[in-house]
Every structure is written in C-alpha cells, then in structure tokens.
A and B are shown apart, each in its own frame.
Chain A
C-alpha cells in the first residue's frame, strides 16, 4: 500500500463578505488516512472541502496537497476527486461513460475506457451494469458508481461530501464498511465530510470536530469520544450528561466541581485542558450514560448523584433509565444488558455513581444543539 499524499491546511480563513465560514483552520492530514470533518450543518466543513478541491479560493492561508501549495490551481488541475452530496452523476450518460469521463477528457479510446469501466464495475460489485443509465440504478448503486467515477480519475485525494446522507439507514450502514474497505484497498487519502458522528467514528482514522467555522479538536475517534477537548466536542459526539458548576479544587489532573443541585462532584480534567482549569472557573463535567450505574443504598460522596427516576425503557442491548436531579435536569443512565433482571425504579429516588476517570471536566463552553 502506498503511503499516499497528505493534505495540509495552514491558517486557513474563508470569508463570504462579513461572514467567516472557516476561522484559522490548521489541519495536517497524513497520506493514506481516512480523515473526517465532523460537525453540525452550516459549520463550514463543506467550505473546507471546496477549498481543498479548488472550487473556492481561501481568503487567507494555504491549502497544501502533497506539500505543494495549491494557490491559483483550478479544480481540474488538482489531484483530488470530489464525490458530491447529490452525487452529480451525468444523467444523459450511461454508467460506464460516467465512470470513465475523466479518461474521455484525456482522449482515451472508447475500447480502453470500456475495459477500465468494467474493471471498476467489478470492484464496486456492479458487474455488467455499465449500459444502464444512472436513473435506472438504486441509490446505493448510484453511490458506488460515483465512487468508481472518482477513482477512475486516479486522484491522490478523494473528497467525500456527506455521500451517504441520502441513503436509508440500512444502506448507510452497509456503505460505511464498503467505503472503508475501498479506502484500504486503494490506499489513497480520503477526506470525509459528515454530520453523523456514527459514520465518523466507525470509518475514520482521524476526526476533526468543527463548530461554527472553528475546529475544536483533531484526534482519533476513541480520543474524541473519551477525552473531548471542548464542551461542544463532548456534547456533539455521542450522548452525554452535562453538569455545570464552578471549580472548587484542582488536585493534579483531577478537579472537584461545585454543581448547584447535585453537590460537589469529582472529575478528570481532559488531556487538552490540563492546567487550564483554576479554582473559581466556570466548568462543565460530562458523564456518558453508560458510565453511570445504580449505586447501593446509602452510598454518598463526590462521585454519587441523587436522582428521581422518571421513566425507563428497554432498548435490547441496553436498559435506559431517565432520571432527574433535584434541579429537574435530565440525566440518562444506560445499563448494558448482560442478562441480569432489571428492577423497575419508576418514581423512586435512587443514587447514581460513576468512576472519576469516566467523568470529564472541560472549561464551560457552547453545547451542541439537540
């Protein structure tokens, strides 16, 4: 597998009039990586992609592909191929003509193109479908044709703009594994745009979490999930219970946060924020639903929360308990289904506990909208 060609964004600013779409982005994408930009819609991730593919000139900063500055180089001259959100297959061309469009541009003969198209159709598991029109294919098949068309151009970097968003859930999950497989087979750099944290976590080597034009955190999926750098990253990726408060005491990498209604709670300061929290600072603490468990009666301390159970639901693999604390704030608990019997707690007051290493403290900040 070739090492692939990397992409670097250096101090990238993109403005539309007064609106800042991308604010000082610095990203280093390794060659051969599957890299995702994850963020809610309108956060500027598509703008970054268009800047990389060459449809948009950055207002400031540089886009480097394979170490070369791309300033002034048009989209047709860049070693990138973009898969559009709506796929943008050419409706009047047959599938094989679509796939080999990049060869047609170079003047390759029809026989050679047809041969290449058949190879690629085999690769995307659509053998013999070359003579159909795009409109005669199903959504998932069109998706794969778009990938084949992009790969046919032999790009060094493949850019994907939410390509799975139009598919239904089952197909989306299937295409996730397929995309990852294709990426590993061809060994080129994939830059993937999505607002679906599940997609980003399952496929990516590295993820950049974006919020309103700012990149909050760049790390692999595990780190982002377990060790978020900001309140936004913690609340956007996966489910999280949030506790607001002020820092009461800092001791090494741990912190005690005085929350209004749940008392003083202990948490670990996330790696990115070591040394940044001081006594008296506004802080937020995040505990995943699966990190909470029901404590034995009479337990108390800086890792226990007293709550009243509102309702419960059985989801199959997990048992969810929806509770609220003294202030009326909802706290969700997910207990893994390991075959134990679940007691019905509805209406009762129970105590929840967690391990301090599973509670992450970050400086107070903007949360992801529900």
Chain B
C-alpha cells in the first residue's frame, strides 16, 4: 500500500518533470505544422508544411544559418585546440601552479558573456588601430571577432571535458613510445591523440552547440555577419511566425537523430567488445562473426524508426497539398464573421422596431427625444458600424443591410449561410 503509493508518486513526479522539460519543445514542434498564422496549437486549423517552405525561402534565416555554421566550425577548431593545450598544461606541466592556473583558465566561464563580447570588441579594435589597419581588416571582421570572442569561454568548457579524459591517461604510455624510438611529435600523434579521440569528439560537439546557441557574446561581435540566434532575435522583435517553430522542429529532430546515432554506435561497440571476448583465436585472426546491427541494440532500432518516420514525413510534405483545407478554413472564418455580423444586424433591427413601436405609442409629441435605451441596454457597442454612428445614420443604413441576407450581391455567395453546408 505504502510502497505502491511511493511508486505512484515517483511516476507522477517523473511525468511532471518530463512534461516540464519536454513540453515546450513538443508544443513548439506541433505549432510548426498548424496553418494558423500565429504559432499555436489550438484551435487546430490545417496540417501544413508551408512554414518549412517559408523558412527555406527566408534569405536572412538562411544567411544566419550559414554564418552560424562557419562560426561554429571556426570555434570548434580554435576551442578544441586551445582546450587541449590547456588540458595538457594542467595535467602534465607546472604541478606547483596547478590550482592557480586552473582558476585562471576557468574564469571565462564565470564571466558574463556580455562582458566577454564587449571586451573582445574593444580589445581587438585596439589591436587593429595599433597595427594601423582599417575598419575592413581581418581583425575587425565579424566572423573573426565572433570566433575569437566565443572561443574565450568555450575553450574552457572544452578543457574541462578533455582534462577529465587526460587524467586517466598513463604518462608511461608516452614514455614507452619515446623509449621505442618515437619522437615527441610521433608519441603525441600515435598514442595520446587516439586516446583522447572520444573526448575530443565530445568537446567538439559541445563547442559547436555552445557556439550555435550563443547570443550574449555574439551580439557585440557579429558585425556584418549575423548568426542564426541574432537573426531570430531580430525577427521576433517584429512578431513571431510558425516558420521559427519549423526551424525549432528541425533542430530538435536533428538533435534526436544524432543522439540516437551516438547511442546506437556506443551500444554497437559494447556488443562488438563482448563478441570479441567470446571469440576464439581463429575467429579473431580470420573473420569475427559479429552480432547483427540490430540485435540487442534498442537505440539502433529507434534510429531506424526515426529515420523512416522522417522520410515518410518529408515524402508526405512534398505530395501533400493543404490548399483545399486552408481554403475551407478561410471560408469557415469568413462565415463565422458573417454570422456574427448577421446577428448584430438582427439585434439592431429588433431595437429599431422596438424604438419605432415606442415612438408610435408616444406619438409625435416627443419626436426629438434621444434614444438612450438604444445605446445603454444593448450589447451592440461591438457592432462594426456602431462606432461614430448617429441614430439617423444607423437608420439610413438599415435599408441597405436589410437587403444583404436576401440578395447575394457582390459577395459571390460566400456569405450565404447555406454555403457552409455545401462546402462540407
């Protein structure tokens, strides 16, 4: 009883936790497929892929993505190189200054990105002037400044990742390589680098993601090369469209894809290692019978399911034409609007009749009496025509509107209540 309650509450907690974590992403992704012009999930209008098309036609977004990729690549190279150098320094050189050195090299992570951005800009501007270069030199180039600025703190992240791996490195391996005749460069390339490869890959991914999503520092340094985050921020200022949701969906999908790919690869390595343990010498020398790709590899199965789903969605998107649905929705909206107008007109008609009846009762004795009841007791303040309308004008307008329901006029029948049924 007690145990089951505990278990239940754990599940509830987990559900809430994941809803909190993933809910916004799910909702944003869903809005990318809704034809509503504002990103929202309800009311659901039509399944559409138009926002993706719109996204890929937006030159500013595409340019932003291109700049982000260039800057990301530059930052990865620079940060991983600096991070590796820093990590080697920390673990293998200067044992006495280690604590101090660590503090210094970690500091950029603790400094606000805004400060790093401004200081990068000021510093390199200074250098640029000292060297007597113009405003169009490499040193004041947006890409250069952004890569340098981002790398100041991303290199520290990389270093932390690399240090963790480097601490497990046995320095005797380098010594063994030297002892066997390798130069220092050969020992580094053939022994240390292969050992560090997994950590370097992690650091590179981390550096790229950190660079891709950076705003604080980039906002000061981008110059004429706005990155994706900068472009998005500028766009959102003028209102948000589901095209941004579409972009978010693509990023989420790519993340899930690569996460699954990585997981599948790791699991595969595990399985191969296990198979090697069991293999005999002959099998190792010849062809090892390795387990098939999917056996016992949940992530690989998910990956394939995910890939198939993606292909299906893309295929559907190219073949699918939501024009009819969108037209229907538009029609329905117009009808709803029309209905509302009709209702208002009816109300107004009734008011007019009431008023006329009252006036008839009272006779011509009080012809100049204003119509207080008209404006106060009724809800027709929202009527499109009520603003600025005088009693007389409204009276003049009625004959016109009276015709509308009867004659189809210039509206082509779309306002005809019957067309609603017909359309369905």
Name A's B-contacting residues (CB within 8 A).
Answer: 53-55, 74-77, 80-82, 84, 86, 88-92, 101-102, 104-106, 128-133, 136, 149-150, 153
Contacts and interface: CB of A to CB of B under 8 A. Distances in A.
Contact of A128 (B182, B191, B282): B282
A81 B178 CA distance: 10
Nearest to B284: A131
Contacts of B282: 128
Looking at B175, B183, B282, the one whose CB has the most chain A CB atoms below 10 A away is B175
Contact of B176 (A84, A92, A130): A84
Interface of B: 170, 172-173, 175-183, 186, 190-191, 194-195, 276-277, 281-282, 284-285
A86 B276 contact: no
A158 to B, nearest CB: 11
A219 to B, nearest CB: 29
Contacts of A74: 178
A170 B392 CA distance: 117
Contacts of A130: 285
B285 A105 contact: no
13 contacts: A55-B178, A76-B183, A89-B176, A90-B177, A91-B195, A101-B182, A101-B190, A104-B190, A105-B181, A106-B181, A130-B285, A132-B281, A136-B277
B172 A84 contact: yes
Given A128-B285, A131-B285, A153 B181 contact: yes
A88 B170 contact: yes
Looking at B179, B182, B281, B282, the one whose CB has the most chain A CB atoms below 10 A away is B179
Contacts of B191: 90
B181 A132 contact: no
Given A82-B179, A84-B172, A88-B175, 4 more contacts: A54-B179, A81-B180, A88-B172, A128-B281
Contacts of A84: 172, 175-176
Contact of B186 (A80, A82, A105, A132): A105
Nearest to A84: B172
A88 B192 CA distance: 13
Secondary structure call for the B interface: helix
A102 B180 contact: yes
Contacts of B181: 76-77, 102, 105-106, 153
A53 B182 CA distance: 14
A81 B276 contact: no
A267 B282 CA distance: 64
A82 B194 CA distance: 22
Contact of A129 (B172, B178, B281): B281
B175 A75 contact: yes
A80 B277 CA distance: 34
Nearest to B171: A88
Nearest to A102: B180
A295 B6 CA distance: 80
B195 A92 contact: yes
A55 B172 CA distance: 11
A76 B175 contact: no
Contact of A86 (B170, B180, B194, B281): B170
A86 B170 CA distance: 10
Contacts of A53: 179
A102 B180 CA distance: 5
A62 to B, nearest CB: 20
Contacts of B180: 76, 81, 101-102, 105, 149-150, 153
Looking at A53, A88, A128, A136, the one whose CB has the most chain B CB atoms below 10 A away is A88
B178 A76 contact: yes
Contact of B276 (A75, A129, A136, A150): A136
Contact of A92 (B170, B182, B186, B194): B194
B284 A132 contact: yes
Contacts of A82: 175-176, 179
Contacts of A104: 190
A75 B178 contact: yes
Contact of B179 (A81, A86, A90, A133): A81
Contacts of A128: 281-282, 285
A76 B181 CA distance: 4
A92 B165 CA distance: 14
A54 to B, nearest CB: 8
In order of increasing CB-CB distance, the 4 nearest A-B pairs are A88-B172, A88-B176, A102-B180, A131-B284
Contacts of A131: 284-285
A132 B191 CA distance: 18
Contacts of B276: 132-133, 136
B184 to A, nearest CB: 8
